[in-house]
Amino acid sequence: MTDSAAPDLADVLAARRRIAPYLRPTPLYRYPALDAMTGTGMWVKHENHQPVGAFKVRGGVNLVSQLTADERRRGVITASTGNHGQSVAYAADLFGVRAVICMPERANPVKVESMRALGAEVVFYGRDFDQAREHCEKQAAEHGYRYIHSGNEPSLIAGVATCTLEILETQPDTDVIVVPVGGGSGAAGACVVAKAARSSVEVIAVQSEAAPAAYRSWRAGTLIEDTTSTFAEGLATRTAFELPQRIMRKLLDDFVLVSEDALTSATRSMIEKTRNLVEPAGAAALAAVLGAPGRFAGRKVAIICSGGNISPAQLTALWPDEPG
Protein backbone atom coordinates (compact mmCIF):
# COMPACT_ATOMS: atom_id res chain seq x y z
CA MET A 1 0.00 0.00 0.00
CA THR A 2 2.86 2.35 -0.71
CA ASP A 3 0.55 4.40 -2.92
CA SER A 4 -1.94 5.07 -0.10
CA ALA A 5 -2.81 8.73 0.14
CA ALA A 6 -2.08 10.32 3.50
CA PRO A 7 -5.23 11.69 5.15
CA ASP A 8 -5.62 15.43 5.65
CA LEU A 9 -7.66 17.53 8.07
CA ALA A 10 -10.77 17.25 5.87
CA ASP A 11 -10.53 13.46 6.14
CA VAL A 12 -10.28 13.71 9.93
CA LEU A 13 -13.34 15.95 10.12
CA ALA A 14 -15.24 13.47 7.93
CA ALA A 15 -14.10 10.65 10.20
CA ARG A 16 -15.44 12.49 13.22
CA ARG A 17 -18.86 12.75 11.58
CA ARG A 18 -18.83 9.01 10.85
CA ILE A 19 -17.82 7.90 14.34
CA ALA A 20 -19.93 10.43 16.30
CA PRO A 21 -23.05 8.19 16.44
CA TYR A 22 -21.01 5.41 18.01
CA LEU A 23 -18.20 6.94 20.09
CA ARG A 24 -18.34 9.86 22.51
CA PRO A 25 -15.38 12.25 22.94
CA THR A 26 -13.07 11.06 25.71
CA PRO A 27 -12.10 13.20 28.73
CA LEU A 28 -9.07 15.46 28.84
CA TYR A 29 -8.26 15.71 32.54
CA ARG A 30 -5.59 17.57 34.47
CA TYR A 31 -4.00 16.07 37.59
CA PRO A 32 -2.09 18.35 39.98
CA ALA A 33 -0.09 15.33 41.18
CA LEU A 34 1.24 14.81 37.64
CA ASP A 35 1.94 18.54 37.31
CA ALA A 36 4.03 18.32 40.47
CA MET A 37 5.89 15.24 39.21
CA THR A 38 6.71 16.71 35.82
CA GLY A 39 6.93 20.48 36.35
CA THR A 40 4.43 20.97 33.52
CA GLY A 41 0.80 21.80 33.05
CA MET A 42 -0.12 18.23 32.10
CA TRP A 43 -3.37 17.07 30.56
CA VAL A 44 -4.19 13.39 30.08
CA LYS A 45 -6.30 12.35 27.08
CA HIS A 46 -8.14 9.32 28.40
CA GLU A 47 -8.44 6.96 25.47
CA ASN A 48 -8.58 4.19 28.06
CA HIS A 49 -12.22 5.33 28.51
CA GLN A 50 -13.16 4.08 25.02
CA PRO A 51 -15.62 1.14 24.83
CA VAL A 52 -12.74 -1.29 24.17
CA GLY A 53 -10.32 0.60 26.41
CA ALA A 54 -8.07 1.99 23.66
CA PHE A 55 -7.80 4.77 21.07
CA LYS A 56 -7.70 2.49 18.02
CA VAL A 57 -11.48 1.96 18.08
CA ARG A 58 -11.82 5.36 16.42
CA GLY A 59 -10.02 4.06 13.34
CA GLY A 60 -11.87 0.77 13.26
CA VAL A 61 -15.29 2.42 13.26
CA ASN A 62 -14.23 4.92 10.61
CA LEU A 63 -12.87 2.21 8.30
CA VAL A 64 -15.53 -0.48 8.70
CA SER A 65 -18.33 2.07 8.29
CA GLN A 66 -17.01 2.70 4.76
CA LEU A 67 -16.67 -0.90 3.55
CA THR A 68 -18.41 -1.79 0.32
CA ALA A 69 -21.24 -4.32 0.28
CA ASP A 70 -18.85 -6.85 -1.24
CA GLU A 71 -16.23 -6.29 1.46
CA ARG A 72 -18.86 -6.67 4.18
CA ARG A 73 -20.03 -9.92 2.62
CA ARG A 74 -16.48 -11.31 2.44
CA GLY A 75 -15.61 -10.31 6.01
CA VAL A 76 -12.45 -8.72 7.38
CA ILE A 77 -9.20 -10.05 8.79
CA THR A 78 -6.42 -8.32 10.67
CA ALA A 79 -3.39 -9.00 12.87
CA SER A 80 -2.98 -7.44 16.28
CA THR A 81 -1.39 -7.68 19.69
CA GLY A 82 -4.76 -6.59 21.03
CA ASN A 83 -6.02 -3.03 20.76
CA HIS A 84 -6.19 -2.82 16.96
CA GLY A 85 -7.92 -6.20 16.94
CA GLN A 86 -10.44 -5.01 19.51
CA SER A 87 -11.05 -1.95 17.36
CA VAL A 88 -11.83 -4.07 14.29
CA ALA A 89 -13.92 -6.52 16.32
CA TYR A 90 -15.96 -3.70 17.85
CA ALA A 91 -16.59 -2.03 14.50
CA ALA A 92 -17.38 -5.33 12.78
CA ASP A 93 -19.93 -6.11 15.49
CA LEU A 94 -21.52 -2.67 15.02
CA PHE A 95 -21.95 -3.15 11.28
CA GLY A 96 -22.68 -6.88 11.16
CA VAL A 97 -19.42 -7.93 9.49
CA ARG A 98 -17.51 -11.16 10.16
CA ALA A 99 -14.09 -10.48 11.71
CA VAL A 100 -11.06 -12.74 12.06
CA ILE A 101 -8.22 -11.51 14.31
CA CYS A 102 -4.76 -13.12 14.15
CA MET A 103 -2.79 -12.75 17.38
CA PRO A 104 0.51 -13.96 18.84
CA GLU A 105 0.20 -17.16 20.86
CA ARG A 106 0.92 -15.39 24.15
CA ALA A 107 -1.50 -12.52 23.64
CA ASN A 108 -2.95 -10.43 26.46
CA PRO A 109 -5.93 -12.52 27.73
CA VAL A 110 -7.95 -9.40 28.59
CA LYS A 111 -7.86 -8.33 24.95
CA VAL A 112 -8.56 -11.85 23.65
CA GLU A 113 -11.66 -12.17 25.83
CA SER A 114 -12.91 -8.77 24.66
CA MET A 115 -12.59 -9.71 20.98
CA ARG A 116 -14.36 -13.01 21.43
CA ALA A 117 -17.17 -11.34 23.35
CA LEU A 118 -17.61 -8.99 20.39
CA GLY A 119 -18.10 -11.99 18.12
CA ALA A 120 -14.71 -12.05 16.43
CA GLU A 121 -12.87 -15.27 15.61
CA VAL A 122 -9.43 -15.22 17.23
CA VAL A 123 -6.61 -17.18 15.55
CA PHE A 124 -3.34 -17.62 17.46
CA TYR A 125 -0.15 -17.83 15.44
CA GLY A 126 3.52 -17.16 16.12
CA ARG A 127 5.55 -15.68 18.94
CA ASP A 128 5.03 -12.00 18.13
CA PHE A 129 2.91 -9.53 16.17
CA ASP A 130 4.85 -9.80 12.96
CA GLN A 131 4.56 -13.58 12.74
CA ALA A 132 0.82 -13.24 13.36
CA ARG A 133 0.66 -10.54 10.67
CA GLU A 134 2.43 -12.69 8.10
CA HIS A 135 -0.02 -15.55 8.77
CA CYS A 136 -2.91 -13.08 8.55
CA GLU A 137 -1.82 -11.88 5.11
CA LYS A 138 -1.71 -15.47 3.83
CA GLN A 139 -5.18 -16.16 5.22
CA ALA A 140 -6.56 -13.02 3.60
CA ALA A 141 -5.28 -14.07 0.20
CA GLU A 142 -6.47 -17.66 0.62
CA HIS A 143 -10.01 -16.86 1.81
CA GLY A 144 -10.71 -13.53 0.11
CA TYR A 145 -11.15 -11.52 3.31
CA ARG A 146 -10.75 -7.74 3.28
CA TYR A 147 -7.34 -7.42 4.94
CA ILE A 148 -7.08 -4.47 7.34
CA HIS A 149 -3.44 -3.50 7.83
CA SER A 150 -2.83 -2.03 11.27
CA GLY A 151 -0.88 0.94 9.90
CA ASN A 152 -1.12 1.39 6.14
CA GLU A 153 -4.80 2.36 6.11
CA PRO A 154 -5.66 6.05 5.59
CA SER A 155 -9.10 5.54 7.20
CA LEU A 156 -7.53 4.15 10.37
CA ILE A 157 -5.19 7.11 10.66
CA ALA A 158 -7.98 9.63 9.98
CA GLY A 159 -10.12 7.93 12.61
CA VAL A 160 -7.52 7.90 15.38
CA ALA A 161 -6.58 11.49 14.52
CA THR A 162 -9.96 12.59 15.91
CA CYS A 163 -8.38 12.12 19.34
CA THR A 164 -6.00 15.03 18.67
CA LEU A 165 -8.86 17.08 17.23
CA GLU A 166 -10.61 16.76 20.60
CA ILE A 167 -7.46 17.72 22.51
CA LEU A 168 -6.97 20.96 20.59
CA GLU A 169 -10.65 21.90 20.70
CA THR A 170 -10.73 21.39 24.47
CA GLN A 171 -7.30 22.91 25.18
CA PRO A 172 -6.36 25.06 22.17
CA ASP A 173 -3.24 26.51 23.81
CA THR A 174 -1.56 23.10 24.15
CA ASP A 175 2.17 23.44 23.47
CA VAL A 176 3.14 19.80 22.95
CA ILE A 177 1.39 16.47 22.41
CA VAL A 178 3.21 13.25 23.33
CA VAL A 179 1.99 10.06 21.65
CA PRO A 180 2.92 6.39 22.19
CA VAL A 181 3.95 4.48 19.06
CA GLY A 182 3.62 0.84 18.07
CA GLY A 183 2.87 1.00 14.36
CA GLY A 184 2.56 4.78 14.37
CA SER A 185 -1.05 5.45 13.36
CA GLY A 186 -1.72 7.51 16.49
CA ALA A 187 1.36 9.68 16.10
CA ALA A 188 0.75 10.12 12.38
CA GLY A 189 -2.83 11.19 13.06
CA ALA A 190 -1.69 13.60 15.76
CA CYS A 191 0.73 15.20 13.29
CA VAL A 192 -1.93 15.62 10.61
CA VAL A 193 -4.28 17.48 12.96
CA ALA A 194 -1.78 19.44 15.05
CA LYS A 195 0.18 20.83 12.10
CA ALA A 196 -3.01 21.80 10.26
CA ALA A 197 -4.46 23.49 13.34
CA ARG A 198 -1.33 25.33 14.51
CA SER A 199 2.11 24.50 13.16
CA SER A 200 3.81 25.51 16.42
CA VAL A 201 2.20 22.61 18.32
CA GLU A 202 5.03 20.15 18.90
CA VAL A 203 4.26 16.47 18.39
CA ILE A 204 6.62 13.95 19.98
CA ALA A 205 6.41 10.18 19.47
CA VAL A 206 7.64 7.66 22.04
CA GLN A 207 8.49 3.98 21.78
CA SER A 208 10.18 1.43 23.98
CA GLU A 209 13.91 0.95 23.49
CA ALA A 210 13.09 -2.79 23.60
CA ALA A 211 10.99 -2.40 20.41
CA PRO A 212 12.58 0.44 18.42
CA ALA A 213 11.69 -0.41 14.79
CA ALA A 214 9.48 2.63 14.19
CA TYR A 215 11.96 4.93 15.96
CA ARG A 216 14.92 3.63 13.97
CA SER A 217 12.96 3.81 10.71
CA TRP A 218 12.00 7.44 11.36
CA ARG A 219 15.60 8.35 12.18
CA ALA A 220 16.95 6.58 9.10
CA GLY A 221 14.26 7.75 6.71
CA THR A 222 13.65 4.19 5.51
CA LEU A 223 11.81 1.13 6.82
CA ILE A 224 13.95 -0.90 9.22
CA GLU A 225 13.24 -4.18 11.00
CA ASP A 226 14.37 -4.73 14.58
CA THR A 227 13.80 -7.06 17.50
CA THR A 228 11.06 -6.62 20.07
CA SER A 229 11.21 -7.74 23.68
CA THR A 230 9.06 -5.10 25.39
CA PHE A 231 6.45 -6.12 27.94
CA ALA A 232 4.23 -3.32 26.55
CA GLU A 233 2.50 -5.26 23.77
CA GLY A 234 0.89 -2.07 22.45
CA LEU A 235 4.39 -0.90 21.43
CA ALA A 236 5.66 -4.28 20.22
CA THR A 237 6.32 -4.31 16.49
CA ARG A 238 9.42 -5.61 14.71
CA THR A 239 8.68 -3.69 11.52
CA ALA A 240 7.71 -0.13 10.70
CA PHE A 241 4.79 0.76 8.41
CA GLU A 242 5.11 2.81 5.26
CA LEU A 243 2.16 5.20 5.52
CA PRO A 244 2.58 6.28 9.17
CA GLN A 245 6.32 6.65 8.59
CA ARG A 246 5.75 8.80 5.52
CA ILE A 247 3.50 11.13 7.51
CA MET A 248 5.84 11.23 10.51
CA ARG A 249 8.91 11.93 8.38
CA LYS A 250 7.14 14.97 6.99
CA LEU A 251 5.43 16.32 10.12
CA LEU A 252 6.73 14.77 13.37
CA ASP A 253 8.90 17.03 15.54
CA ASP A 254 10.79 14.35 17.44
CA PHE A 255 10.82 10.66 18.34
CA VAL A 256 12.23 9.38 21.64
CA LEU A 257 12.84 6.02 23.27
CA VAL A 258 12.15 5.06 26.89
CA SER A 259 13.48 2.12 28.87
CA GLU A 260 11.41 -0.78 30.14
CA ASP A 261 12.09 0.38 33.70
CA ALA A 262 10.81 3.85 32.81
CA LEU A 263 7.64 2.30 31.35
CA THR A 264 7.09 0.26 34.50
CA SER A 265 7.55 3.28 36.74
CA ALA A 266 5.31 5.48 34.57
CA THR A 267 2.57 2.84 34.52
CA ARG A 268 2.60 2.73 38.31
CA SER A 269 2.54 6.52 38.51
CA MET A 270 -0.35 6.84 36.04
CA ILE A 271 -2.43 4.33 38.00
CA GLU A 272 -1.62 5.95 41.35
CA LYS A 273 -2.00 9.60 40.29
CA THR A 274 -5.00 9.36 37.92
CA ARG A 275 -6.83 6.45 39.60
CA ASN A 276 -7.28 4.86 36.17
CA LEU A 277 -6.28 1.46 34.86
CA VAL A 278 -3.51 2.10 32.34
CA GLU A 279 -1.64 -0.43 30.22
CA PRO A 280 2.13 0.03 29.81
CA ALA A 281 1.82 1.44 26.27
CA GLY A 282 -0.68 3.97 27.63
CA ALA A 283 1.91 5.24 30.11
CA ALA A 284 4.69 5.64 27.54
CA ALA A 285 3.98 9.34 26.99
CA LEU A 286 4.35 10.05 30.71
CA ALA A 287 7.62 8.08 30.71
CA ALA A 288 8.92 10.32 27.93
CA VAL A 289 8.07 13.50 29.86
CA LEU A 290 9.60 12.18 33.09
CA GLY A 291 12.72 11.22 31.14
CA ALA A 292 13.40 14.76 29.91
CA PRO A 293 11.99 17.17 32.52
CA GLY A 294 13.87 20.21 31.25
CA ARG A 295 12.37 19.87 27.81
CA PHE A 296 8.80 20.07 29.07
CA ALA A 297 9.13 22.31 32.14
CA GLY A 298 6.59 25.13 32.25
CA ARG A 299 4.84 24.01 29.05
CA LYS A 300 1.27 22.90 28.50
CA VAL A 301 1.58 19.22 27.67
CA ALA A 302 -1.06 16.76 26.53
CA ILE A 303 -0.17 13.09 26.85
CA ILE A 304 -2.28 10.46 25.12
CA CYS A 305 -3.16 7.59 27.43
CA SER A 306 -3.65 5.24 24.50
CA GLY A 307 -5.14 2.33 26.39
CA GLY A 308 -6.06 0.75 29.70
CA ASN A 309 -6.15 -2.95 28.82
CA ILE A 310 -3.70 -4.21 31.40
CA SER A 311 -3.94 -7.89 32.33
CA PRO A 312 -4.20 -8.99 35.98
CA ALA A 313 -0.73 -10.58 35.67
CA GLN A 314 0.76 -7.34 34.34
CA LEU A 315 -0.96 -5.36 37.06
CA THR A 316 0.27 -7.46 39.97
CA ALA A 317 3.79 -7.52 38.50
CA LEU A 318 3.94 -3.73 38.87
CA TRP A 319 3.90 -4.04 42.66
CA PRO A 320 5.73 -7.33 43.30
CA ASP A 321 6.65 -6.55 46.89
CA GLU A 322 3.19 -5.54 48.07
CA PRO A 323 1.75 -7.83 50.79
CA GLY A 324 -0.81 -10.25 49.37
CATH number at residue 106: 3.40.50.1100
* DSSP state letter for 307: B
Please report whether residue 296 resides in a domain.
yes
Same domain, 188 and 279: yes
Please report whether residue 88 resides in a domain.
yes
Same domain, 162 and 133: no
Of 124, 152, 180, the last residue of a domain is: 152
Strands (E), the chain: 28-30, 41-46, 76-79, 99-103, 121-124, 146-147, 176-180, 202-208, 254-258, 300-305
- Parallel, antiparallel, or unpaired: how do β-strands 28-30 and 76-79 relate? unpaired
Q: What is the rounded CA–CA span in Å between residue 320 and residue 198?
A: 44
Same domain, 49 and 190: yes
Please report whether residue 305 resides in a domain.
yes
Of 131, 152, 173, the last residue of a domain is: 152
Q: What is the rounded CA–CA span in Å between residue 308 and residue 133?
A: 23
Please report whether residue 324 resides in a domain.
no
Q: What is the rounded CA–CA span in Å between residue 227 and residue 230?
A: 9
Taking the CB of residue 275, how many other CB atoms lie within 10 A of it?
8
Residues 145, 76 contacting (CB under 8 angstroms): yes
Of 94, 120, 152, the last residue of a domain is: 152
Please report whether residue 3 resides in a domain.
no
Q: How many independent structural domains does the chain possess?
A: 2
- Parallel, antiparallel, or unpaired: how do β-strands 41-46 and 28-30 relate? antiparallel
Same domain, 46 and 129: no
Same domain, 194 and 96: no
Tell me, what's the pLDDT at 235? 81
* DSSP state letter for 258: E
Q: What is the rounded CA–CA span in Å between residue 222 and residue 305?
A: 28
Same domain, 96 and 48: no
Which residue(s) pair with 303 in the sheet? 44, 178
Can you give the three-state secondary structure of 259-303, one letter per residue? Answer: CHHHHHHHHHHHHHHHCCCCCHHHHHHHHHHHHCHHHHCCCEEEE
Residues 295, 178 contacting (CB under 8 angstroms): no
Tell me, what's the pLDDT at 236? 79
Strands (E), 32-104: 41-46, 76-79, 99-103
Same domain, 218 and 89: no
Please report whether residue 323 resides in a domain.
no
Please report whether residue 4 resides in a domain.
no
Tell me, what's the pLDDT at 66? 98
Residue range 99-143, pLDDT digits in tens: 999 999 998 898 999 999 999 999 999 998 889 999 999 999 999
Tell me, what's the pLDDT at 324? 54
Same domain, 80 and 27: no
| Burial category of 214 from C-beta neighbours within 10 Å (exposed 0-12, middle 13-18, buried 19 and up) | buried
Task: Write the Ramachandran bin of 53: left for phi over 0, alpha for psi from -120 to 50, otherwise beta.
Answer: left
| Residue range(s) defining the domain that contains residue 308 | 9-55+155-318
Instruction: List C-alpha distances in Å: 53 to 12, 47, 220.
Output: 21, 7, 33
* Continuous H helices in 144-232: 154-160, 162-170, 185-197, 213-220
Positions of the chain with pLDDT lower than 70, given as ranges: 1-3, 322-324
Same domain, 162 and 137: no
Q: What is the rounded CA–CA span in Å between residue 53 and residue 86?
A: 9
Please report whether residue 80 resides in a domain.
yes
User: In the chain, count of helices (H) and strands (E)?
Assistant: 16, 10
Same domain, 77 and 178: no
Same domain, 39 and 114: no
Same domain, 106 and 225: no
